[in-house]
Chain A
C-alpha cells in the first residue's frame, strides 16, 4: 500500500545533525571561536547587530557562527532571541556630537572644524586581492596616535543649522515618547520616528537599491554627504531614584547626514533638508543608503513630486525587513498541495468544458453562436443540479451529514 509522503519527527531531527555537520565542516580544522568572529569579522557583526536590532557583539558572533555565515539567518536568530528580552527602560538619546571618533568625513566642505579623519576605510584601498593574507601574517598592533581627538566635535549639520541654511530638526510639541516599532504594528502614514526605526533595521541590500534608485532618477533628491562619522558614544539611562543619568555602556555607531536642497514653500524659504542614517557598529554603506531613503520618503511632506518607488512609504516600509521577506519567500517550499489540488481541479474542469464546447460547435455547424458564446449556455446546463448545494453552503455546514455517517 502506498504510504503518503510524510515529514516526520525523525527526519527533522536528522536534518539538525546534518546541518551541524555541514556547518562545522572539516573537523581536522580548528573550530571558529566567538572572539575570532567578533575581532576579525567586525563588519559582519555590525550588520547583524543593526538588522537584528540588538547591540551585543558576543551574541551577534554566536548567531553568525550558528548561521554558518549566512548573515540574514544570523539576523533572524538574533531577532528571535531579542523577542524574549524584557524591556528595562529607555535610554536618553545618544549624543553623536560627543562621539569618540574613529572616522569623520564631510563631502560638502574642504575642511571642517576638527578636520577630516579618514580612519579605517576600504575607500582608497586598491581592490587587489592581497595574497599576503593567505598566510597568517604576524602583525604588530598599531601604535596609538600622538594626540587624541577632542572628546566633542561639532557636526557639519550643526554648523549649517547655525546659519539657518538647514531645516532644523526639533522634537515634536510636548516631546512625546517615540513610536516603538518592535512593540506596535506599523501604521500608515507612518511618522518619521517609525520610518527611521524601520530603516534602521532594514535589509542593507534593499536600502542600498532603493537609495541607488533615487540617484538614478527614480525620485528627485540631489543629496550631499554633509557628514559621515563612526565611533563610540556613551549610552545614558536616567535613574528616577537617583535623579540623574548614569552611563550604562558604550556603543559603536555610524551616522550619516545627507543634505538636499529644498525649494521652500509658504512657511519657509529655500533651505537644505536632511536625510538621516544611523547604524549600530561600523556600517557606512548602510547609513548612507538609509539617509537617502529617509529623505526620499519625506517628499510628500515637503510638497515635492513623490511618484518614485523610494518616495512611496508603504512600498518601502513594508519591504525593508529581510526577516519577513526571507521567511515569506522561502515559505513557498512548504507544501501547498491542497491549494494546488484546488487549482488543478478547476483547470481540468475548464479544459473538459472547453473540449466539449469545441466539439459541440463542430457538430452544430448551423448554429450562429461561436464556441465562446456557447459557453454560458453550457454552463447553465452544467450547474443545473448545483443550486441546492450552493444555497446549503450558506445556511448549514456541509460536513454535518458526514458526522452522522460516523456516529450512527
Chain B
C-alpha cells in the first residue's frame, strides 16, 4: 500500500563509535523513568536531566532524547517536520538516528512504530502500539500569562487555569474569535493544562482518545510530558464559542483532499497561489490511490465545488459529531 512512498534516502551507516541511541545507558534509564512518570500523570510536566545533544537546542533536542531513550533495534522510525518527511531538519534527525542506531526508517505513517514530529500530527490515523514523539520548544501553557516557572508550577498544582480562559475570552471580545491558531491549550484527562507543542489547532482533535502513545520532549526547558493512549484531551473553549479548526475554501492541488491541513504555495508575485497537503506522505498516497481505475468520481465533483470548508455535510466531520 505504500509502494509509492518507499524511502528514497540512502540508508546511513551505523557509527560504532557511539552507544546505541547516542546517549549512555544510565542517561536513557533516567529518561525512561521520567517518561514513566509522565505517562502516569497525563499532561504533567516532569523535569529531567536534559543532556547536550549534537543538534542545537530548539531544533528537536527534547524529541531526540525521548526517541533515543525509547528506540529499540526492531523499531521503524519516521521523522517529520511541518508534516513533511523531506524538510531539512527531518532529514537531518533521521540521518542522526540512522547513524547512532542503524534502525530502519520509513516515510509511511502506517509502517512506523515511532514517529518523531515537529509541528504536525500525520493525517493518517494512528494505531495502537505506535508512539508519537513531539519536539516541544516551550512546554508551559501558562508561560505567556506568567513568565515565572515557580509561579506556573504552583498554578498547575492548584489547577488554577482561570487566566487562560480570560485570555481566550478577551480574544472573543476583541476579534469575535479565539485568536490562538497553533499551540492551542488543552486539558488532559480533566486535570492538567497542556501545550500540545506548536501543532496547528487543526490537529488538536487527533490527540483526543488516540490509540497511540503521545510523548512530548522539551530539551532546552528540560521537561517531558505525555498523553497515554485513549486519554481525554479537550481543547479549551466556551459553550457559546465552541472549539473550531482551520478550514480552507480550497482543496489540495495534488491529491484533491479537502479535509487535510493545507500549505499555501506562492507561485508568483501577482498573488497566484495554490494549496497542497502539509502531510506529504498522506498526499502522495492519496494521489496514487486516486489514479487507480476504480476511483469513485463523486469526489472529483465535490472537489470542484466552490465552497468546501466546514459544513455539516462534510464527511470528515459528520462522523466525528456523533
Contact = CB atoms under 8 A, between A and B. Distances in A.
B317 A389 contact: yes
Contacts of B120: 338
Contact of B91 (A12, A86, A375, A404): A12
Contacts of B24: 84, 86
Contact of B320 (A7, A314, A344, A398): A398
Contacts of B312: 385, 388
A189 interface: yes
A222 B51 CA distance: 37
Contacts, number: 258
B9 A345 contact: no
A386 interface: yes
A324 B209 contact: no
A9 interface: yes
A337 B49 contact: no
B176 A379 contact: yes
Interface string A127-157: 0000000000000000000000000000000
B161 interface: no
Contacts of B18: 84
A339 B220 contact: no
Interface string A104-132: 00000000000000000000000000000
Contact of B182 (A7, A327, A339, A388): A339
Given A314-B150, A385-B310, A396 B320 contact: yes
B310 A389 contact: yes
Contacts of B246: 341-342, 345-346
B210 interface: yes
B235 interface: yes
B81 A391 contact: no
A401 B320 CA distance: 8
Interface string A382-405: 010111111111111111111111
Given A2-B265, A331-B137, A338-B120, A393 B245 contact: yes
B173 to A, nearest CB: 9
A184 B318 contact: no
Interface stretch (B36-44, B69-77, B198-206): B198-206
B100 to A, nearest CB: 10
B317 A338 contact: no
A245 interface: no
Nearest to B248: A345
Contacts of A401: 315-320
A265 interface: no
B111 interface: no
A338 B125 contact: no
Interface string A38-65: 0000000000000000000000000000
B205 A393 contact: yes
A12 B93 CA distance: 12
Contact of B204 (A186, A338, A378, A393): A393
Contact of B220 (A327, A334, A336, A353): A327
Contacts of B208: 393-397
Contacts of B274: 2
A378 B177 CA distance: 11
Interface stretch (A74-82, A158-166, A295-303): A74-82
Given A331-B59, A339-B181, A7 B88 contact: yes
Interface string B46-69: 011111111011110100000000
Interface in A8-27: 8-9, 11-12
B175 interface: yes
Contacts of A185: 47-50, 222-223
A389 B56 contact: no
Contact of A402 (B58, B125, B222): B125
Interface string B278-322: 101000011001000000000000000000001110011111111
A62 to B, nearest CB: 15
Interface string A311-346: 000100010000110111111001111110111111
Given A338-B200, A389-B244, A400 B125 contact: yes
A376 interface: yes
Given A341-B264, A389-B244, A376 B198 contact: no
A183 interface: yes
Nearest to A387: B242
Chain B interface mostly: loop
B97 to A, nearest CB: 14
Interface in A213-255: none
A49 to B, nearest CB: 15
Nearest to B285: A406
Interface centre among A185, A344, A400 (most CB of B within 10 A): A185
Contacts of A400: 125, 319-320
Given A327-B61, A343-B182, A391-B242, A184 B289 contact: no
A11 B90 CA distance: 13
A43 B54 CA distance: 25
Interface centre among A84, A314, A343, A353 (most CB of B within 10 A): A84
B286 to A, nearest CB: 7
A80 B82 contact: no
A40 B320 CA distance: 68
B261 interface: yes
A389 B321 contact: yes
Contacts of B261: 338, 341
B228 interface: no
Given A324-B220, A394-B208, A337 B82 contact: yes
Nearest to A344: B264
13 contacts: A2-B253, A182-B49, A314-B148, A335-B81, A341-B246, A341-B264, A342-B181, A342-B201, A379-B176, A389-B244, A393-B243, A398-B245, A401-B318
Across the A-B interface, the 8 shortest Cβ-Cβ residue pairs? A7-B88, A390-B242, A327-B57, A331-B58, A327-B56, A392-B320, A342-B181, A328-B58
Given A185-B222, A341-B261, A394-B234, 14 more contacts: A7-B86, A183-B49, A185-B48, A188-B150, A338-B182, A341-B200, A345-B181, A386-B244, A389-B242, A390-B244, A392-B320, A394-B243, A399-B205, A406-B285
Interface of A: 1-2, 4, 6-9, 11-12, 76, 79-80, 82-84, 86, 182-189, 314, 318, 323-324, 326-331, 334-339, 341-346, 349-350, 353, 375-376, 378-380, 383, 385-406
